Chain A
Amino acid sequence: MKCIVTIELGTNAVRVFAFDLDGNIIGSLKGYYPTFHTQPDYSEQDPDQVFLTMLYVLKNLLNETIYPKKYKVACICFSSYMHSVLPVDKHGNPLGYAITWSDTRAKKESYELKSSSAGKTIYKATGTPLHPMSPLIKIAWIKNNDKDRFKQTSKILPLKSYIIQQLTGEYMVDYSIASATGLLNIHKIKWEPDALKFAGIKENMLPDLVPVFTSAGKLKKAYQTSLGLSADTKIIVGSSDGCMAILGDGVSGNGVATITIEDSGAVRVMGDKVLQDEKQRFFNYLLTENCYVSGGPTNNGGIIFEWFTRQFGDFKNPFDIDHSMQELINDALKVPPGSDGLIFLPYLLAERAPIWNPNARGVYFGLNIKHEKTHFVRATIEGILYEIYSIGKTLEEHRNIKSLSINGSFGTMPFCTQMVADIYNKPVRLRQNFHSVSFGSFLLSATEMGIYKSLDEAAKKVVLTDLYLPDKQNHKKYMQYFKIFERLSTKLAPEFEEIANLQ
């Protein structure tokens, strides 16, 4: 029997899944790798440790589950988080660690480009917001601030390209990951000369640009032997986690937006046109030719509620934060929607979409003498979800959204899902314990293998079983407070800047 293996290189861990050809999960394993913060703005990962962890986990899954169940691996498909940057020397050896998406050292370069006229053209051409997360801007930072490293750099790779190169020897980057570098012209699917110029690199320093279905060559002999895989095992370059998540939720056309809330969050739509926004609030990433995934990311998802739980949760049973979170949610249920007028701006980690303000900070607003701890709990969750709504609302200026799907560990907690339905006033679909990113990779692989004619057809295969319907009364209530939330989020900009400078 054949099976499809998907490998997801996430922010904190690699997740490896095996699916049979009908899309049923045969087994899965994960392996954690650390992120190093050697300086406050820095966020880096050891590419060799990521590679090794991936190998280790893959090998364990093969030997513990896949081979004992008599499956043969037909293909291995990759997905990964976006915006990573890894310079390598002329032998392909890493020059230092890979810089992850959450690294913000390049604030100055970002500000410079954003306030120039070149910035506007580059955003239009590339679809990637001008922000320290963008590889374009990170590379410019290396050029300006780490000259030795830049001089030795022969190629600049996204983390996933490095991993695939280790396995097969080929330097490749798929359209999706490439479209998140800020260097790709997403209309022409070619590297954008103006962006390359700003970054200070030449086209030949980047890996080969290929569609997401491309096979990245044969596994090296040593890995065939150590993993027990045959030479004809296809290695598919795959896509980014963002694009895979929306595909995995079965979204293929207009009318549906996908919400992901893990530590951070995003609201995404799919369409055949780039979403042009004068205020540069959205990303536009490429899944395949003429298929764009557009939306906005927030820094402040479930991680904010986790922060709240750590500060104010009950830890009498000391070893389980999930338990404490659940207790707090039970508290939140005792408070009516709107938290009796306590409003929370969740910008503890500054904010990307829709306000794109690196100085934004958290605020509790409207506090009065009757508010209790339980109000804070509910207000905190409401604030996180108002922020998710404010992204969706700006997307609705461009697209018609009739219904939503939701994924991610925070978003799929029933209390949160219902609140999303109420705030948006739209039906929300989901499937519990469903791994949208990996399932997206499965659909992509199955399409490549000819099981489905197209990604469109593959997407129709997805059934999200649970449905949450909005409560109109609650929606009205939430909107009264959201108005204030929305105004505060921009009104406080000067104070945000002042306090950020003091911190």
Chain B
Amino acid sequence: MNQFVLKQDSSEELRLFPHILELGIVKNTSIRLNAFPKISVDGIKIFTVLEGKFEWCINNGLFTLFPNDVAVILPGQEFGSSNGVLEIGSYSWIHLNVQRKGSNELVMGLWSSLSESECNAISKILLANESPILSKFIDGAKILKLIQTELANQELGYHARVNHFIDELFILITRQLTKQSNPGRDFPKTFMDLEQALRQNLSHQWTVEEMAALVGLGTTLFNEKVKSYSGFSPINYLINIRISEAIKLLKRPGISLTDIALDTGFYSSQHFSTTFKKLTGYTPSEFRKNHLSKK
């Protein structure tokens, strides 16, 4: 395919796709100086190398990319060549208007047909991921090519298909990322990472699917691994952390029971109270009285 660039503000093809900021292929036949400076990326950029070899700087790390390698640059990350040089070779990319909300959420937009919890899991995995490179990820190039073809031919249903392909791209990238981290190899470490993620965002209404996706396992296998490792189902383990944290907060005067309940992820103070009593034998207020009255 020849090189081309579609841009949101100038290309008619993108009129129906306000979330696609840019899409294109670059074929570079001679080394060009100052052609590829480092910039801070707004939105998400996904690159796949088609030919040649590129040395790119992503989020302060230096990476060498070969054909079929895919780079994922997230909102706010620095991206470019460290000395501004564009090497010989070709690559294709898509630039999407997907923004970050808070520290661990990405907002996809109405075009996406991902469910809220799927989207949530995908954002968490992308944002928690440390290496922006997926090596030998052929699906990346394939999907970008499909998107380009749909946009060029504009046949019946291309609007829906393009958006589906973008979803597909996110899904496959995320699956690949979790495979790369190979959670079964060191499950104790995987479990520790999970514990940390849960504690950092304890007020979130975690689902098992989200937790499983975060460590890159299917739900059934995840359930099984967690049960055999911890003795608890994932949800019961989470409740365990919630109550342990609540105990600490209850010992501090000045935080209301409702605040404690919500901070530790219970959906109401009633829900908190029942669960707490079931486990500890005391209601939260009894527990608090026992520990504060001594003071």
B-chain residues with CB within 8 Å of residue A226 when the two chains form the complex? 277-281
Q: Count chain A residues whose beta carbon lies closer than 8 angstroms to a beta carbon of B.
A: 30
Interface size class on chain B is: 20 to 34
Q: A498 in the interface, Cβ–Cβ < 8 Å?
A: no
| CA A48 to CA B242, docked complex, whole Å | 11
- CB nearest to B251 among chain A residues: A93
Q: A56 in the interface, Cβ–Cβ < 8 Å?
A: yes
| CA A55 to CA B247, docked complex, whole Å | 14
Interface-lining segment among A180-188, A203-211, A247-255, A313-321 = A313-321
Q: In the complex, how many angstroms separate the beta carbon of B76 from the nearest chain A beta carbon?
A: 28
Chain B binding surface SS class: helix
Q: In the complex, how many angstroms separate the beta carbon of A225 from the nearest chain B beta carbon?
A: 6
Given known A-B contacts A315-B185, A319-B225, A91 and B244 have beta carbons under 8 A apart: no
* Contacting residue for B184 out of A52, A57, A91, A320, CB 8 A: A320
- Please tell me if the beta carbons of A222 and B282 are within 8 angstroms of each other in the complex: yes
Q: B113 in the interface, Cβ–Cβ < 8 Å?
A: no
- Please tell me if the beta carbons of B192 and A34 are within 8 angstroms of each other in the complex: yes
B-chain residues with CB within 8 Å of residue A234 when the two chains form the complex? none
Most chain-A Cβ atoms within 10 A of its Cβ — which of B185, B191, B243?
Answer: B185
Q: A49 in the interface, Cβ–Cβ < 8 Å?
A: yes
- Please tell me if the beta carbons of B184 and A56 are within 8 angstroms of each other in the complex: no
A-chain residues with CB within 8 Å of residue B192 when the two chains form the complex? 34
* Contacting residue for A46 out of B217, B244, B295, CB 8 A: B244
Given known A-B contacts A310-B185, A318-B182, A321-B184, A48 and B231 have beta carbons under 8 A apart: no
Q: A378 in the interface, Cβ–Cβ < 8 Å?
A: no
Q: B241 in the interface, Cβ–Cβ < 8 Å?
A: yes
- Please tell me if the beta carbons of A223 and B240 are within 8 angstroms of each other in the complex: no
Q: B268 in the interface, Cβ–Cβ < 8 Å?
A: no
| CA A59 to CA B278, docked complex, whole Å | 10
Number of A-B residue pairs with CB-CB distance less than 8 Å in the complex they form: 74
- CB nearest to B278 among chain A residues: A226
- CB nearest to A318 among chain B residues: B184
* Contacting residue for B186 out of A56, A92, A310, CB 8 A: A310
- CB nearest to A91 among chain B residues: B294
Q: A30 in the interface, Cβ–Cβ < 8 Å?
A: yes
- Please tell me if the beta carbons of A315 and B184 are within 8 angstroms of each other in the complex: yes
A-chain residues with CB within 8 Å of residue B230 when the two chains form the complex? 13, 31-32
| CA A222 to CA B276, docked complex, whole Å | 12
- Please tell me if the beta carbons of A93 and B291 are within 8 angstroms of each other in the complex: yes
Given known A-B contacts A29-B231, A222-B280, A227-B281, A321 and B185 have beta carbons under 8 A apart: yes
Given known A-B contacts A91-B295, A93-B291, A223-B281, A52 and B229 have beta carbons under 8 A apart: no
- Please tell me if the beta carbons of A53 and B225 are within 8 angstroms of each other in the complex: no
A-chain residues with CB within 8 Å of residue B195 when the two chains form the complex? 34
Extra A-B contacts (20), CB below 8 Å, given A52-B279, A222-B280: A13-B231, A30-B231, A32-B230, A32-B237, A48-B248, A52-B240, A52-B243, A56-B232, A56-B279, A57-B231, A91-B291, A93-B291, A220-B281, A223-B281, A226-B280, A310-B186, A315-B185, A319-B184, A321-B186, A321-B187
The 8 A-B residue pairs with the shortest CB-CB distance, nearest first, are: A226-B281, A319-B184, A222-B281, A32-B230, A49-B244, A31-B231, A30-B231, A91-B294
| A residues lining the B interface (CB < 8 Å) | 13, 29-32, 34, 46, 48-49, 52-53, 55-57, 59, 91-93, 220, 222-223, 225-227, 310, 315, 318-321
| B residues lining the A interface (CB < 8 Å) | 182, 184-187, 191-192, 195, 217, 221, 225, 229-232, 236-237, 240-241, 243-244, 247-248, 251, 277-282, 286, 291, 294-295
